[in-house]
């Protein structure tokens, strides 16, 4: 919304409200019922949901207006973003759509997910091989899988794509793309930026860390299928030190942020870098963000933007090999970036003792919440649990760090989810991504517990399973 239009509408609304008040005082009527509907609609969208619900109790007219599907679609679009609302309104999903007010309520009260195993595709069809520490992205209505590590510590350099579209699929037709670039690696990061992918860093099977930046574009044609092209991005003379097992995400549709990872000689890093991309996406500029406080060094953690000017860092393995459960926010609402730590006691959360993890996934789903899945604890036990991390429950007062002592707030911030349907093996260093609606999360690969073979000592194996996690309303 243009700020000038917003100010004009607000001024007009206030003037009309005063006139309405004077008229209604003389006529013993509620002043608010005479406000023009478009002005009232504009003002309601400036209010938090709790205030909208409270206002609905004032009179019958407001009760009907604040319950309208049109208003709640606008509220959902405001709070969740336009892309997921447009996806939810797709004709292919129409039969599943709830009234917007009811959907908003159910999303806020989400307490379970349903897992679905994808059907076997037969021996005649190629499917990606077993792997971990790869990348998996949903871009241009396609799943894109690249690289990873496999048996013997070897890297992979293959790329696979599968068209999803707006349909709910139980069978996928993977297509192998022989791009030849980027070079093989694992522990890299790859984030979506519109119809593009931005890939950074990673480790090859010689243990060499890399710091190259690549941009990829995926295109789907009904006649010729899926094409994927990569090119090395020109970033000038400055780039982050080489690394792998770091965390990254896209912020503000034009920037990529990375944090931490494993640097040279196995050292864990705690630095933060931001890649500023040109409007044409022809080149980019890396800048290190040096602020205090900031998250300590770690690897195997996650960095996820919830679409509300805040990026959430969670978990990982620290300098002393400890597995972490701290939460940090990278606040991008101002002209400068700053880290804010959320301090809390895991003992105050039901089942909170199981929160510390490394090698998990953190995927933003419908409603701007994070779906935390899997990972492993300090004893390398792989997890199979699902959690929702909701930072909207946290009161932001400008004080750093934010200390949470209220069990009620913590119960809203961290919520364990029940998993129905197919029960996948617990796993770590898998990858997950959500479709445009945020209702479906795709999970592929990772390290899982396996039967011990004579040549094995760990009982670990690489996995090639793809399954779907659906939010249950």
Tokens of 167: 């349909």
Q: Which of 99, 128, 163 is the last residue of a domain?
A: 99
In the chain, how many domains are there? 2
Q: What is the pTM of this model?
A: 0.89
- Whether residue 105 is contained in a domain is answered as no
Tokens of 452: 């011990």
Q: Which of 99, 133, 148 is the last residue of a domain?
A: 99
- Residues 403, 313, single domain; the answer is yes
- Residues 84, 36, single domain; the answer is yes
pLDDT in tens, the chain (473 residues): 444 444 444 444 344 444 444 444 444 455 656 677 788 888 889 998 989 998 888 777 788 888 999 999 999 999 998 888 988 887 765 445 789 999 999 999 999 999 999 865 544 568 899 999 999 999 988 999 999 999 888 999 999 999 887 665 666 788 898 767 899 999 999 999 988 999 999 999 889 999 999 999 988 777 777 888 899 999 999 999 999 999 999 988 789 999 999 999 889 999 999 999 998 889 999 999 999 999 999 999 999 998 766 899 999 999 999 999 999 999 887 778 899 999 999 989 988 999 999 999 999 999 999 999 999 999 999 999 999 999 988 888 777 899 998 988 999 999 999 999 999 999 999 999 999 999 999 999 999 986 544 444 456 799 999 999 999 98
- 158/202 Cα distance (integer angstroms): 14
- Residues 89, 213, single domain; the answer is no
- Residues 93, 164, single domain; the answer is no
Q: Which of 56, 75, 99 is the last residue of a domain?
A: 99
- Residues 125, 77, single domain; the answer is no
Spatial CB neighbours of 300, under 8 Å, sequence gap ≥ 6: 245, 315, 316, 317, 358, 359, 429
- Residues 232, 348, single domain; the answer is yes
- Residues 344, 434, single domain; the answer is yes
Strand 225-232: give its sheet, edge to edge. Answer: 189-193, 196-203, 209-221, 225-232
- Check: CB of residue 230 under 8 Å from CB of residue 179: yes
- Whether residue 244 is contained in a domain is answered as yes
- Residues 366, 444, single domain; the answer is yes
Spatial CB neighbours of 172, under 8 Å, sequence gap ≥ 6: 118, 121, 143, 162, 164, 466
> Residue 306: what pLDDT?
85
Spatial CB neighbours of 223, under 8 Å, sequence gap ≥ 6: none
Helix or strand run (H / E) with residue 15:
helix 3-27
Residue 236 maps to which CATH number? 2.120.10.80
- Residues 255, 145, single domain; the answer is yes
Q: Which residue has the tokens 């090999």?
A: 321
Residue 83: which domain range?
A: 3-99
Which one, of 265, 358, 249, 354, lies nearest residue 309 by Cα?
249
> Residue 394: what pLDDT?
87
């Amino acid at each position: 919304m243009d700020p000038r239009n917003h100010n004009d509408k607000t001024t007009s609304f206030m003037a009309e409200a005063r006139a309405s008040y004077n008229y209604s005082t003389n006529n013993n009527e509620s002043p608010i019922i005479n406000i023009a509907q478009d002005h009232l609609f504009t003002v309601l969208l400036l209010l938090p949901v709790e205030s909208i619900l409270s206002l609905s109790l004032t009179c019958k007219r407001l009760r009907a207006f604040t319950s309208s599907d049109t208003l709640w679609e606008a509220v959902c679009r405001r709070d969740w973003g336009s892309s997921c609302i447009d996806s939810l309104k797709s004709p292919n999903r129409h039969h599943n759509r709830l009234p917007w007010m009811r959907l908003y309520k159910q999303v806020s009260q989400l307490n379970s997910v349903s897992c679905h195993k994808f059907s076997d595709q037969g021996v005649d069809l190629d499917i990606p091989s077993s792997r971990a520490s790869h990348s998996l992205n949903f871009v241009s209505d396609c799943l894109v899988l690249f690289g990873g590590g496999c048996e013997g510590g070897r890297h992979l350099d293959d790329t696979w794509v599968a068209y999803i579209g707006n349909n709910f699929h139980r069978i996928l037709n993977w297509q192998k793309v022989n791009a030849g670039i980027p070079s093989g690696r694992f522990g890299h990061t790859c984030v979506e930026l519109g119809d593009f992918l931005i890939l950074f860093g990673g480790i090859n099977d010689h243990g060499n860390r890399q710091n190259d930046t690549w941009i990829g574009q995926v295109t789907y044609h009904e006649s010729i299928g899926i094409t994927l092209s990569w090119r090395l991005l020109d970033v000038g003379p400055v780039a982050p030190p080489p690394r792998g097992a770091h965390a990254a995400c896209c912020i503000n549709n034009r920037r990529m942020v990375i944090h931490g990872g494993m640097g040279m000689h196995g050292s864990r890093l705690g630095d933060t870098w931001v890649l500023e991309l040109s409007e044409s996406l022809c080149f980019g500029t890396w800048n290190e963000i040096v602020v205090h406080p900031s998250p300590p060094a770690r690897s195997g953690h996650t960095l996820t933007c919830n679409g509300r000017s805040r990026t959430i860092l969670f978990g990982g393995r620290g300098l002393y090999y400890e597995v972490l459960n701290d939460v940090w926010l990278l606040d991008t609402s101002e002209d400068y970036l700053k880290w804010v730590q959320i301090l809390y006691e895991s003992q105050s959360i039901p089942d909170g003792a199981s929160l510390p993890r490394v090698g998990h996934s953190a995927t933003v789903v419908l409603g701007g919440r994070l779906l935390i899945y899997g990972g492993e604890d300090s004893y390398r036990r792989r997890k199979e649990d699902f959690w929702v991390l909701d930072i909207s429950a946290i009161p932001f007062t400008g004080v750093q760090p934010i200390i949470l002592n209220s069990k009620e707030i913590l119960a809203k911030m961290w919520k364990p989810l029940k998993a129905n349907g197919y029960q996948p093996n617990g796993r770590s260093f898998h990858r997950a991504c959500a479709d445009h609606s945020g209702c479906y999360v795709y999970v592929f690969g990772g390290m899982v517990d396996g039967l011990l073979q004579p040549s094995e000592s760990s009982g670990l194996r690489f996995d090639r399973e793809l399954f779907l996690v659906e939010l249950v309303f």
